Structure 1
């Protein structure tokens, strides 16, 4: 199938825009490769330190400088349900490495905070910055320079992007990402949302809410809604960094363990001394990045990736913009309905055909690049296959050629929507993004007076006081990366959703984030320039008429620019103290804007 001309055009302009940056990156990759492989270049003292604690069998193999050594970078902790299964992965990986004639070591751990725990709490102000901390921690782990490849163990929101960014600094190494899979399905998403709305309306008790939440988030594995964590897993397949079909296999199953062992074997097979050498820096190229963007749009994935993908691409010397997202969204059909864009969860998505179906549809429609390098070998077609066990042995077969549930997955020629799930907004209020996949078409445009808040708690207090009446657009400012670390404002969703259920027309405009779980409330997110840098949001006042039109891609205040700028800008309250926030002042000062990835590294 010929490439869609719009996808080809976006890819070409990304390549041209990135030419010098990408060339410099690849030169550094080649220089690192030429310095020698793995531990063979270590001095005897370096060598002895690196393997002093290795068991006897591994020490004997270590004496052969040609035997591959694999570094494991793990985000294990047992507070994150998604990462709790990783506790036993290193043992499994070491055994698989021995069977492949190699050794494996935990090179280091990276922090992994749970946005589900910090949501609406001060700790959320560290969440976005944790991505760059994870990238640096990955660099610390791999800088021992004793490895022929790496396995990255991570799933959730900032963790996979951080691992990708950090690993790309070692782009001469083959790197395979190893997921742990989603938890089994709990109560229905409709029931969970119903109880949340009742609680927001004061019609359910805290005990009832807690019982509902614990019936939803109930065991090991990734949360099953299609937020940033599961969008990460989709991206790793679309970008060729997982083994095919690895994303959504439940933890603790024989198939999950077989995939983990196979990832270990594969990273050995594609090592620097092999004929199949596959350095990560060559896997993540312009076409792979476009494939990731198209996959995100086609599945209605997380708005957080309009930040993360920008930063991940820059780590590989590739520069993408929100205009690229906007142009791709205009030609990418929405193929999936997974909560919050529908009632299904990722287990249902996987059962309906999952990633194998999505990859096939996008390739057959000419919307994704087939001619890419992946950790599974050349070509994205490999990812339209799904893994299974045959007499206890791992094998792959062609995935579903047709959707097994048209309420969850649809073909590209009969999609849920002709355009992708994320769209660009621009106007005299700045630039931002909006997730439209869960918003009803008739609710994607609104013109209403502003109600302005400098903190999400102020909005919630206004709701409790009965002040949020009539149609309005809530402006929640001073939530950008420089202001306070750009926390997610997902706690606003039940309240604003309740007002919509009551018949009010409402929307949200903010320089903060909403969440990978952005739902039915139309929300203009990541507005840039942010208020603290003198962006238009700093000049908005209660009662100003604002027009938000997601279909037209417009966000504007109905006020002459001179009149807006004649006002004194609002002044941000000081950043709070405690819970680690004092430690991140240097990052707030140095962070780039949202459209540049909100990073301190680039």
Structure 2
């Protein structure tokens, strides 16, 4: 029996649809104008067209020039420095071979940059990280602008990369699109042991050589990092929103099953073109229901807080106005069904072994928490995604009915027996503005913190205070001027070890910042993405050392307990940001800092919000 949609899910979806009615209609009207049965490339001028196939081999040249078969765009973010993206080196040849076998062709339409936040954490390059999402979107649009293609496959995995690819893909929303993941690396040193080693190093108890060896054991081969940060949250989202093949997200790289899934994804992309009978453009897959399914998946898995920004920007690219109130209202009815590091000890390989996405989707559908009646790259309905892939006798993918329940309830549970009754994210409001907090990794006794503020303007200032013993007290660390307009809104993971040490020594500790922490925010309660940000006149710039701050996650409040008259009369502090505006390429992004919208609007440079 098919479960009835839970009332809150329906209410929020309808609210988003009403709010988005005009922008969504304009979006669909715009992309539908470009939909055409005949290959678009055949309408190009002869010189234009000849440029588009000049470098092809003889067979592909003839097929593109004179044939009627579909031509598939490959948009790749391959580089061999990112462990998650290195496997994509092999994908173009696989894609081209399968396209030929299916009566079509494929070309690498273009590449997009892919940076690794793991490399840039705490470094100047991290200040380009969030903006790289919009650069990737722009690069994707450039790649597709030649109008040589009937569908596209997208090769990307990590933090800003999948959101950027999706925003770019939606700007060509009349084209079908399949996202082809590379998969997670095999498990190495556990994420829990890695975290303990980092803390020991911060305390000066082990050497840099010992720390490096531990990190190398954790990050040891091709594939996505195994903790449940933004990269793996991306993969969950692409599957639950219908842009992956069923069960494709968490199969390890360079395995026969991964290659078979890639081949099946190519065949499916070719089958979705306007030349066939199953035309399914991406702009019609990503609708209000798909977006709500994504938010539900985010809450149910305790996913990355980055997606309280990215999902808003991704939805806006399809003319859909998602906001933080929608996240908050959905969080109240969506239970937490996974324990994956940092909100547990398991990694994504353990999640996959426990049943992975098919079991998760089955449970959420059974509880009426997902829209079943959505379009996907696999067909009509999310009910098709409760299957798991395996290899048939000829090495092809064979989908089998997935298990009805988890194989390991310490990692993955059903909705009838969750880890928490509500989702792992909360939205906070108060006199400091709005913020989000990831509660799924924070012990319940720390969901409310009231302590004096210590104000910092950089990670380095906080580390200096830690080394001087200044954090070993009850305190709320306020790290400000870290928003998108200030310095590109870097992730601030280097704050976590010292704050974690102070917390472990028995002090009440929390973080309040207009910067980011992403999926690996960990055990310290952290109100992040504070908006309006300090650089744009936000009230976070009024806070002084010693002000009493109250972070109340259960009630969704972020308070500053200062006399109201004094608070109203107090001026914002200023801060010299010039050091963050030059060097390591940062001077090239001045236009981004000047035009970026607020975190609760998606922190995007694109004019998507009215």
For the aligned pair, the TM-score class normalised by the smaller chain equals over 0.9
Query: Secondary structure of 2:107's match?
Result: strand
Residue 202 of structure 1 corresponds to 204
The residue that corresponds to 1:589 in the other structure is 594
Report the equivalent of 2:487.
Answer: 484
Asked whether the equivalents of residues 40 and 66 of structure 1 are also in contact (C-alpha less than 8 Å), the reply is no
Matching of residue 413 in structure 1 with residue 412 in structure 2: no
Contact between 1:72 and 1:151, CA under 8 Å: does it hold in 2? yes
Corresponding residue of 1:461: 464
The equivalent residue for 2:113 is 111
SS at match of 1:184: coil
Kept in 1: contact 2:36–2:274 (CA 8 A): no
Equivalent of 1:514 in 517, 531, 545: 517
Q: CA deviation at 1:35?
A: 8.6
Of the three residues 559, 565, 568, the one matched with 2:568 is 565
Q: CA deviation at 1:518?
A: 1.1
| Aligned mates of 2:272, 2:347 — CA distance in 1 | 34
CA distance in 2, matches of 1:560, 1:100: 71
Partner of 1:281: 283
In structure 1, what is the Cα distance between the partners aligned to 2:533 and 2:378?
A: 41
Distance 1:466 1:447 in 2: 20
What is the rounded CA distance, in whole Å, between the counterparts of 2:143 and 2:516 in structure 1? 30
Q: How many Å apart are 1:34 and its aligned residue?
A: 4.1
Q: For each residue in 1:88-114, what CA deviation from the matched residue of structure 2 results, as whole angstroms up to 9, or x when unmatched?
A: 100010000001100000000000000
Q: Aligned partners of 2:149 and 2:449: how far apart in 1? A: 55
1:438 CA displacement: 0.4
Greater shift, 556-565 or 77-86, is seen at 556-565
- Residue 498 (structure 2) pairs with residue 495 (structure 1): yes
* 1:100 match: 102
Secondary structure of the residue aligned to 2:493 is coil
- Alignment deviations for residues 221-254 of structure 1 (CA, whole Å, 9 cap, x no partner): 0000000000000000011001111100000000
What CA distance in whole angstroms lies between the structure 2 residues aligned with 1:478 and 1:123? 17
Q: Is the 8 A contact 1:353 1:400 kept in 2?
A: yes
- CA drift of 1:515 comes to 2.2
CA shift, 1:568, in A, is: 2.5
The offset of 1:499, in angstroms, is 1.0
Structure 1 equivalent of residue 240 of structure 2: 238
Equivalence map 1:46-195=2 (5 Å): 46-195=48-197
Q: For residues 357-380 of structure 1, what are the alpha-carbon distances to aligned partners after superposition, in whole Å with 9 as ceiling and x for unaligned?
A: 110011110100000000000000
Q: Distance in 1 between matches of 2:300 and 2:119?
A: 29
CA shift digits 1:366-398 (9 cap, x unpaired): 100000000000000111111100112211011
Residue 45 (structure 1) shift: 1.4
Q: Distance in 1 between matches of 2:113 and 2:214?
A: 29
Counterparts of 2:282 and 2:407 in 1: how far apart (Å)?
A: 34
Match of 1:556 in 2: 559
SS of the residue corresponding to residue 209 of structure 2 reads helix
The CA deviation at 1:36 is 4.9
- Give me the whole-angstrom Cα distance separating, in 2, the residues matched to 1:23 and 1:121: 42
Contact 2:37 2:275 in 1 (8 A): no
State the Cα distance separating 1:37 from its structure 2 match: 3.0
2:390 to 377, 388, 391: 388
- Contact 2:37–2:274 (CA under 8 A) maintained in structure 1: no
345-354 vs 466-475, which deviates more?
466-475
Q: Secondary structure of the equivalent of 1:14?
A: helix
Give, in whole Å, the separation in 1 of the partners of 2:484 and 2:293. 27
Q: CA deviation at 1:162?
A: 0.1
Matching residue of 2:443: 440
Which of 553, 575, 592 is equivalent to 2:578?
A: 575
Deviations, residues 62-106 of structure 1 (Å, cap 9, x unaligned): 233421100000000011000000011000100000011000000
Contact 1:38 1:68 in 2 (8 A): no
Kindly tell me the number of residue pairs found equivalent between the two proteins.
Answer: 602
Map of 1:281-320 to 2, 5 A cutoff?
281-320=283-322
Pick one of 538, 541, 544 that aligns with 1:541.
544
Any residues of structure 2 matched to 1:342-357 within 5 Å, and which? 342-357=344-359
Indicate if the aligned counterparts of 1:82 and 1:223 stay in contact, CA closer than 8 A.
Answer: yes
The 1-side partners of 2:246 and 2:404 are apart by: 16
Task: Decide which of 502, 505, 508 is 2:508's aligned counterpart.
Answer: 505
Q: Secondary structure at the match of 2:181?
A: coil
Q: Which residue of 1 aligns with 2:270?
A: 268
Deviation at 1:565, TM superposition (A): 3.2
Out of 468, 473, 491, the residue aligned to residue 470 of structure 1 is: 473
Quote the Cα distance in structure 2 between the aligned partners of 1:111 and 1:395. Answer: 34
Question: What residue ranges of structure 2 are gaps of 5+ in the alignment?
Answer: none
SS at match of 1:32: coil
Spell out the pairing of 1:214-229 with structure 2 (5 A cutoff).
214-229=216-231
How many angstroms does 1:60 deviate by?
A: 2.1
Distance 1:575 1:526 in 2: 21
The residue number in structure 1 matching 2:33 is 31
For residue 458 of structure 1, report the CA deviation from its aligned partner: 0.3
1:12 offset after TM fit, Å? 0.3
Q: Contact 1:38–1:69 (CA<8 Å) still a contact in 2?
A: no
Which segments of 5 or more consecutive residues in structure 1 lack a partner in the other structure?
none
- Counterpart contact for 1:85–1:221, Cα < 8 Å: yes
2:497 paired with 1:528: no
CA deviations over 1:318-363 (Å, ceiling 9, x no partner): 0011000000000000000000010000000000010001100111
**CA–CA separation in structure 2 for the residues paired with 1:213 and 1:226:** 17
Give SS of 1:338's match.
Answer: coil
Q: Tell me the distance in 1 between the aligned counterparts of 2:398 and 2:198.
A: 42
CA distance in 2, matches of 1:570, 1:552: 29
CA contact (8 A) 2:446 2:525 kept: yes
Q: What is the TM-score with the length of structure 1 in the denominator?
A: 0.99
Q: How far apart, CA to CA, are the structure 1 residues paired with 2:530 and 2:38?
A: 45
- SS of residue paired to 1:491: helix
2:4 maps to 2
Partner of 1:341: 343
Normalising by structure 2, what TM-score? 0.98
Contact 1:445 1:549 in 2 (8 A): yes
**Retained in 2: the 8 A contact 1:306–1:322?**
yes
